[in-house]
Amino acid sequence: MTKSMVGKRPLLLVLILVAAGLVAARSVRRGETPHFFTPPPEPDPSPSVAPAAQRVAEAEPVAEPPAPAPPPVSSPSAQPDLFSVATSPAPGPFARSVLPLADGSAPDPEFMIKGKINSMRSHGPSSPYYGRTRAEVWFRTEEDAIAAGFRPWAPKG
């Protein structure tokens, strides 16, 4: 009956690493550098190669091409605003819902209802859990949340 070596491979690897460590420790105690720790030899600088700064200084100057003229500007409003942030919030996965910002906050002040997708529960400002609920989607009104299939928070009983 033969046994599989699958379970013994990690043990074999540990034994090899321990043996290598012992060999390295013995070499260090003797004042030698283990052959697997020796750094590669330093490259021998050739006297025929000049330093890069000297070669650049000896090179002939190259004339730079003229800079392109800037495009004409008709008016400041005609220029696209490259740094503007999107004004409309990202649409959410439900009807009349939007996705929250990266920090979980509402993308616009008119979105007041927080929705949790796992529980399909919505929390308005009157909910005691409103402050600690991290919205996964936002709705403008409770009616929008109900139309999307969310149940509003209500006290038990």
Residue type, 17: L
- Name the average pLDDT for the chain: 77
Q: What is the pLDDT of residues 102-155, one digit of tens each?
A: 888 999 999 999 999 999 999 999 999 999 999 999 999 999 999 999 999 888
Q: Where are the domains of the chain?
A: 97-152
Q: What is the pLDDT of residue 7?
A: 62
**pLDDT range class, residue 61, cuts 50, 70, 90:** low
Residue type, 10: P
Does this model's pTM top 0.75? My answer is no
Of 18-27, 42-51, 78-87, highest mean pLDDT: 18-27
Q: Which amino acid is at 105?
A: S
DSSP states along 21-82:
HHHHHHHHHTTPPPTTTPPPPPP---TTSPPHHHHHHHSPP-PPPPPPPPPP---GGGS--T
